[in-house]
Chain A
Amino acid sequence: DTEVTQTPKHLVMGMTNKKSLKCEQHMGHRAMYWYKQKAKKPPELMFVYSYEKLSINESVPSRFSPECPNSSLLNLHLHALQPEDSALYLCASSQDRVGGEETQYFGPGTRLLVL
């Protein structure tokens, strides 16, 4: 089973709101990723967690705050976002196994609109 789930599917928020995106996988993967994707563009990496520790932060503004409560869950906390943050947010996971080919499996995404 190569399923990654994301909630909510759609989210509309004001610039003063605080909201969270949730991602879950039950494939036993130990690496999880957040990507941001604008319309008709490829995904851009935001964060990588490996074994529940943040391993890569692609210089993302602090209004985005990731959290990995356990190996199956990944959250993205949003606060004081700007309209330009409106995008599709994709979560992915991979095995993170030494010598592994590390295929990333993606969730369906959360479509975020910031008003």
Chain B
Amino acid sequence: AQTVTQSQPEMSVQEAETVTLSCTYDTSESDYYLFWYKQPPSRQMILVIRQEAYKQQNATENRFSVNFQKAAKSFSLKISDSQLGDAAMYFCAYSRGATNKLIFGTGTLLAVQP
């Protein structure tokens, strides 16, 4: 069975600094998708970034980028120039695609200090 592990329950970063959130996963599949979702206190789950396992190039979205290491089954999220609005719970998730269930990690609560 696939599992997703986030080993950092809480993290803190100063405004304008960079922070990296860790995620590892376990799967025997070769084709899959990985996601980072953000859930602020307003509670809506917002897609931050996604990565297709067959792509070697790391995904980037503005200040957000990932370090995808397929062999190591690692998928970390880097947030550059952190802003107060980045404070949220961040979930790493895995999917086989096409109505397959999202398997979530336990989440990392990120605090941004002014």
Report 12 cross-chain contacts, Cβ distance below 8 Å, ordered by A residue. Answer: A31-B99, A41-B106, A42-B104, A43-B91, A48-B99, A88-B43, A96-B98, A102-B99, A105-B47, A106-B45, A108-B42, A108-B43
Inter-chain contacts of A59 with B (CB < 8 A): none
Q: Which residues of A are in contact with B by a Cβ distance under 8 Å? A: 2, 31, 40-43, 45, 48, 50, 55-56, 58, 88, 90, 92, 94, 96-109, 111
A43/B44 contact (C-beta < 8 A), A56-B99, A96-B98, A100-B97 known: no
Known pairs A101-B52, A101-B97, A108-B42. 12 more at Cβ < 8 A? A2-B47, A43-B102, A43-B104, A98-B98, A100-B97, A102-B33, A102-B98, A102-B99, A104-B102, A106-B37, A106-B46, A109-B43
Inter-chain contacts of A96 with B (CB < 8 A): 98-99
Q: Which residues of B are in contact with A by a Cβ distance under 8 Å? A: 33, 35, 37, 42-47, 50, 52, 89, 91, 95, 97-102, 104-107
CA distance A102 to B102 in the complex (A): 10
Inter-chain contacts of A2 with B (CB < 8 A): 47
CB distance from B74 to the nearest CB of A (A): 19
Q: Which 4 A-B pairs have the closest CB atoms?
A: A42-B104, A106-B45, A108-B44, A102-B97
CA distance A101 to B52 in the complex (A): 7
Inter-subunit contact B35/A103 (CB<8 Å): yes
CB distance from B99 to the nearest CB of A (A): 5
CA distance A25 to B107 in the complex (A): 26
Inter-chain contacts of B35 with A (CB < 8 A): 103
CA distance A58 to B103 in the complex (A): 13
CB distance from B86 to the nearest CB of A (A): 18
> Of B44, B50, B101, B105, which contacts A45 at CB under 8 A?
B101
